[in-house]
């Protein structure tokens, strides 16, 4: 059984994942305290579309607002919604997938069908159709992203539950008369902690991208300051025409660095879930010690031990 402690150790001992933790941590810190350190992101402060200068480190937008303030303040709502979506998606996925895998029979059939149908529908057009009927705002975005995003996690967790279903401790719980929901939540899911962590991170990365995309289309609250609306206004204020790269580059870098950081963290978590990956050490190769990979050149693969 893998506890939180082991997952954290796995992440921290993995050089790439450690870099990811630092990246994500830096952005969470900015999102938490940043808005108090910069000015009002919506205030008109200078001539529109000014390039970066000492007064305005990242320049001004097409409406004369400070880009640094907008980038910093946009991080908070964006990361909160993404984190909330990631959490909900994992809870829904764990319950549906866990129950489907544990119960089997008609419930599993119905759940699997719902999972497969949801997975095969094209994501973005579906999100647009749903979001367009809802009042614009973070709650609607959250709902739409959960509705369209739960299925992948449910499928993964269902498969993992299937592999645990016939273990002794599960049978013991059944004999003890515990309810299915309790067995899944208390007996089975704690064994899948690292998988659930990886699912949460993956769902959060996906939620950041989808949220920014929807808001870029104008389906968010365009009066609020988020990373998505920053990009929406950058295209709508002719920033591209005038070559004002500073209006969209900082926000895009923010989105990418958080996403990249989370992906790096997941490499560390993955090693917990899948010990076979421990020999992979891709990031160790990237960040120094190339010794680790040297013995793995495929000279005589049949001479190597088959596992790990």
Q: Which residues make up the interface to another protein (CB under 8 A)? A: 16, 113, 116-117, 120-126, 128-130, 132-134, 209, 212-213, 216-219, 231, 234-235, 240-243, 245, 248-249, 252, 255-257, 259-260, 263, 282-283, 285-286, 290, 293-294, 296-298, 300-302, 306
Q: Quote the crossing angle between the two packed helices 4-12 and 249-273, to the nearest 10°.
A: 120
Nearer of residues 39 and 123 to another protein, judged by Cβ: 123
Q: How far is the CB of 220 from another protein (least distance, A)?
A: 11
Q: Give the nearer residue to another protein in terms of CB position, either 33 or 124.
A: 124
Q: Least Å distance between CB 155 and another protein?
A: 12
Q: Is 5 exposed, middle or buried (0-12, 13-18, 19+ CB in 10 A)?
A: exposed
CB of 113 or CB of 172, closer to another protein: 113
Provide, rounded to whole angstroms, the least separation between the CB of residue 16 and another protein.
8
Shortest Cβ 130–another protein spacing (Å): 7
Nearer to another protein by C-beta: 107 or 245? 245
Q: Which is nearer to another protein, 102 or 142 (CB)?
A: 142
Smallest separation (angstroms) from another protein to the CB of 217: 5
Q: How far is the CB of 195 from another protein (least distance, A)?
A: 18
Q: Which helix (H) or strand (E) holds 148?
A: helix 138-164
**Nearer to another protein among residue 183 and residue 203 (C-beta):** 203
Least separation, in Å, of the C-beta of 42 and another protein? 22
- 187 vs 270, beta carbon nearer another protein: 270
CB atoms within 10 A of CB 18: 17
Nearest CB to another protein, comparing residues 43 and 240: 240
Min CB(205)–another protein separation in Å: 8
Least CB distance from residue 302 to another protein, whole Å?
Answer: 5
- Number of neighbouring beta carbons within 10 Å of residue 42: 16
DSSP string, the chain: ---HHHHHHHHHTSHHHHHHHHHHHHHHHHHHHHHHHS--TTS--SSTTPPP-SSSTT-B-TTS-BHHHHHHHHHHHHHHHHHHHHHHHHHHHHHHHHHHHHH-HHHHHHHHHHHHHHHHS-HHHHHHHHHHHSPSSHHHHHHHHHHHHHHHHHHHHHHHHHHHTTSHHHHHHHHTT--HHHIIIIIIGGGGHHHHHHHHHHHHHHHHHHHHHHHHTT-S-TTS--HHHHHHHHHHTTTTTTT-GGGTHHHHHHHHHHHHHHHHHHHHHHHHH-GGGGGT-HHHHHTS-THHHHTTSSS-GGGS-S--
Closest to another protein by CB, 63 or 293? 293
300 exposed, middle or buried (CB, 10 Å; 0-12, 13-18, 19+)? exposed
């Amino acid at each position: 059984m893998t506890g939180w402690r082991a997952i954290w150790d796995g992440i921290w001992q993995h050089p790439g994942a450690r870099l990811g933790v630092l990246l994500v941590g830096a952005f969470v810190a900015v999102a938490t305290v940043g808005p108090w350190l910069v000015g009002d992101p919506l205030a008109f402060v200078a001539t529109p579309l000014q390039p970066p200068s000492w007064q305005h480190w990242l320049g001004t937008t097409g409406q004369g607002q400070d880009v640094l303030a907008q980038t910093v303040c946009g991080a908070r709502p964006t990361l909160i919604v993404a984190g909330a979506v990631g959490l909900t998606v994992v809870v829904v996925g764990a319950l549906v997938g866990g129950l489907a895998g544990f119960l089997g029979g008609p419930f599993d059939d119905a759940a699997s069908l719902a999972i497969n149908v949801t997975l095969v529908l094209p994501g973005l057009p579906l999100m647009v159709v749903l979001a367009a009927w809802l009042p614009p705002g973070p709650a609607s975005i959250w709902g739409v992203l959960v509705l369209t995003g739960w299925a992948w996690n449910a499928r993964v967790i269902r498969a993992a539950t299937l592999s645990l279903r016939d273990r002794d401790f599960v049978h013991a719980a059944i004999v003890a008369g515990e309810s299915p929901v309790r067995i899944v939540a208390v007996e089975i899911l704690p064994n899948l902690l690292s998988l659930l962590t990886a699912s949460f991170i993956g769902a959060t990365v996906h939620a950041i991208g989808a949220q920014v995309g929807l808001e870029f289309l104008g389906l968010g609250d365009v009066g609020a300051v988020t990373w998505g609306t920053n990009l929406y206004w950058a295209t709508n204020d002719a920033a591209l025409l005038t070559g004002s790269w500073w209006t969209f580059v900082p926000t895009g870098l923010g989105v990418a660095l958080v996403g990249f950081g989370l992906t790096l963290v997941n490499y560390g978590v993955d090693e917990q879930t899948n010990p076979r990956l421990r020999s992979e050490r891709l990031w160790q190769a990237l960040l120094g010690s190339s010794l680790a990979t040297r013995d793995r050149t495929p000279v005589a693969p049949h001479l190597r031990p088959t596992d790990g």
